[in-house]
Chain A
């Protein structure tokens, strides 16, 4: 079977790969590019563990084809820190114990960063609805919501 050649930008770097027509973006990230920070929890768009930004919008990478990423910009959890400087959300997730097993964490961080990029002052309810597509089975969400709200306040203070 002939494979598709895709040129794209991932975390700021120009990347190219060959993929089969049915390969999802998540398959490509994980199997071919060794960007295993995005997780597969369901492969059906229901858990959010595979969340990435595609041209600045949140998508479930398990629902996007690898071929569709051509000419576009993809941001994953691996691109969230600036070198060795963590994003304030990453720092606060550690400090405020917003993860237990951590499997949902990459998807939640990518989704939360996208929220704060658009809305620096979300209410608790807005955070809860924004993250409603990201399942976490360990924490009951409490410490996650608090970490996002605290980070938003911190970033507003710093701005």
Chain B
């Protein structure tokens, strides 16, 4: 476990609600997102996509397209001659440009660059692809059966037992104790099976990039991504170029939620640019985003929980079967690790399965794998509470994890906030407010690991005493503000004196992608340490100016001062003073910090929701919603609240409406916002966020990541509310009106 970094302190800036530095650009339309950049002489690139769910590509004839007016380059898989060094990158190449087979409806098989959008689109129609259509499978349980249409051969890991199709790539197991003995001690055992549909992150900004590559094998790429260093490393491996020759600049990003943690268009744009000798811009349509980016897994889950009459859980098991599209992705294992993480269990066994189907490869979606697992586990807990006649919060408090609990996925928890969120929920007026006819209240808990990872930060003191901070993580929801706040706090200077930018890949050391809720934690930690580094240098300059020992100088409120009366009597030197004379005291001053950050600090949340079910139509209305989450320390409370509110509403969409619908032919039937309906303003009430602050021992200010946990409890919370309102247990998501109405009628 990470060493104890946390020190209690009084904050001056952290915890306030300052305006964000990128706000003005974003309210005036000036901010440049992925599709907003152009280059002189730029071409437009478009992809030709498979209309089949599963097909062998027998041949591709591009000659007619190449001869069309305005067309400057056509690429197919044959142009990607370099074999990527990493197996994961090989899968990414197979995903961004199909090899021998098209594996899903929407899989790219060729691409065109032309001097106008219309010329490029016309050329796509002239490409002739000869397909041999193959049988397909899109359902996880079907895909696992022997005899199912198989996507790949020879990729099954040894962990998979006999008797499954080749689509089952991996099996993993977690737990401790003896579940058989535990179930033997139970007074009540509840066993249920659940299904959840695949959903999409639904970021409003489609993928977009602008690539410029010359025959000197140097390239520049501008794109919307959650991690431009990842883009650089992946694209360089695909293109067979040295990563230092590819400079990637992250645009402003119009939402990601995990979906922009990989590449789709970027290698194709680079290849089109290389072949045409011109900059190439590519943008996805919404239809392409839905069919061919990275939605989440669909699942099939079995849960069994045994309890004594007083509510103590004696044993639990879970089988988590996740399909993650056409390539390996760790999702089922994450479900198996997270589902029971809020509980202190003596006997537990969970199994996770990774299954491939003829769907686009899943990408991360906010706490990937966890929301569906929580839906299943928390639904059974709710049923148990009902059967015991127990308050569902009391049942969770009785069995809840706390400091010292052995977690469902192995380690022992340090200080955690689960019970604090449960107690806050129970004490909140929402929990005891009266309910009307056809209304029901649900509660649910959720867990996410959080992550630290590779981080580089550089902090420059300018001669006039202003400060620039360079970080390497795209700002997906206010992180430049948070970084400036933490740097200002540490340096003891006003927030306005600092400007934070997101540097390109050639200007800063390696940074992992913006994922795992890592940025405020890890980049914040590096920012604080870079500031401390700069402070040490400034203390040295002050010491030299005064002719005293550097150890005899301390940094207080943005100034160096002698530490105590023995150090000598000198008036303090402020950061501005030291900056003004830096060229005479030793030259430029900057601090930096590089680390693979550990100690991210796990996160828990509890949600409460009231719903009203219309028994005539099966429609559900969300009446009231309250989120309780442990943020460690909320650096910028507005943006923490925004994460909790946004996560809850994405969860509401997932629970009630959103689903990938595949037809008999394996093609996606609802590739657009009209038929894949995400929540709109008129669907919702205000979402009340309650932030708890249980300091994370692994961060100097106690910060924990907050971005992902908020989407874990809602599926279960809403299902529990709907099940109580309708008087029938809902085990399949989404709880769309026809499905709910059928369940009410069947009851």
Residues of A within 8 A of B (CB): 20, 22, 27, 30-31, 34-44, 46-47, 49, 76-78, 80-81, 86, 90, 93-97, 99-106, 109, 125, 127-129, 131-146
In chain B, positions 573-603 with a C-beta closer than 8 Å to chain A are none
Q: Is the CB of B680 within 8 A of A41?
A: no
**B680 pairs with A138, CB closer than 8 A:** no
Q: How far is the CB of B533 from the nearest CB of chain A, in Å?
A: 31
What are 11 contact pairs spanning A and B, CB under 8 A? A36-B33, A40-B35, A46-B672, A100-B642, A103-B254, A128-B684, A132-B680, A132-B681, A136-B204, A137-B201, A143-B642
Q: Which residues of A contact B344 (CB under 8 A)?
A: none
| Contact stretch, chosen from B22-30, B48-56, B175-183, B347-355 | B22-30
A27 contacts which chain B residues (CB < 8 A)? 117
Q: Tell me the minimal C-beta distance from B483 to chain A in angstroms.
A: 16
- Measured between beta carbons, the chain A residues less than 8 angstroms from B684 are 128, 140-142
B673 touches A47 (CB 8 A): yes
With A40-B283, A47-B286, A81-B28 already in contact, 19 other A-B pairs whose C-beta atoms are closer than 8 Å: A30-B35, A36-B35, A38-B29, A40-B206, A44-B673, A86-B28, A90-B28, A97-B642, A101-B252, A103-B255, A109-B27, A128-B682, A128-B684, A132-B680, A137-B202, A137-B255, A140-B646, A140-B647, A140-B649
Chain A min CB distance to B586 (Å)? 39
Known: A43-B286, A101-B254, A103-B205. A135 touches B645 (CB 8 A): no
A49 engages B204 (CB within 8 Å): yes
Residue ID in chain A nearest B652 by CB atoms: A140
In Å, the complex CA distance between A137 and B374 comes to 22
Whether a CB of chain A sits under 8 angstroms from the CB of B346 is no
Known: A44-B672, A97-B639. A102 touches B22 (CB 8 A): yes
Contact A139/B206 with A37-B30, A94-B19, A128-B684 known, Cβ cut-off 8 Å: no
Partner of B254, one of A39, A93, A143: A39
Could you tell me if B673 and A42 are in contact, using CB atoms closer than 8 angstroms?
A: yes
Once bound together, how far apart are the Cα atoms of A105 and B206, in whole Å? Answer: 15
How far does the Cβ of B23 sit from chain A's closest Cβ, in whole Å?
4
Q: For B204, give its contact among A86, A103, A145 (CB under 8 Å).
A: A103
Closest 7 CB pairs of A and B: A37-B29, A103-B254, A140-B649, A102-B26, A94-B23, A97-B638, A140-B645
The answer on a CB contact under 8 Å between A145 and B681 is yes
**Chief secondary structure at chain A's binding surface:** loop
Per-residue interface assignment for chain B, residues 626 to 663, with 1 indicating a CB less than 8 Å from any chain A CB and 0 otherwise: 00000000000011011001111110000000000000
Given contacts A49-B204, A101-B476, A138-B646, contact A95 B19 (CB under 8 A): yes
Give the interface centre of B19, B255, B478, B681 by most chain A CB atoms within 10 Å: B681
Known contacts: A41-B205, A78-B29, A106-B29. The answer to whether A97 contacts B646 by CB under 8 A is no
With A41-B205, A103-B204, A128-B681 in contact, do A140 and B648 touch (Cβ < 8 Å)?
Answer: yes
CB A154 to nearest CB in B, in angstroms, measures: 16
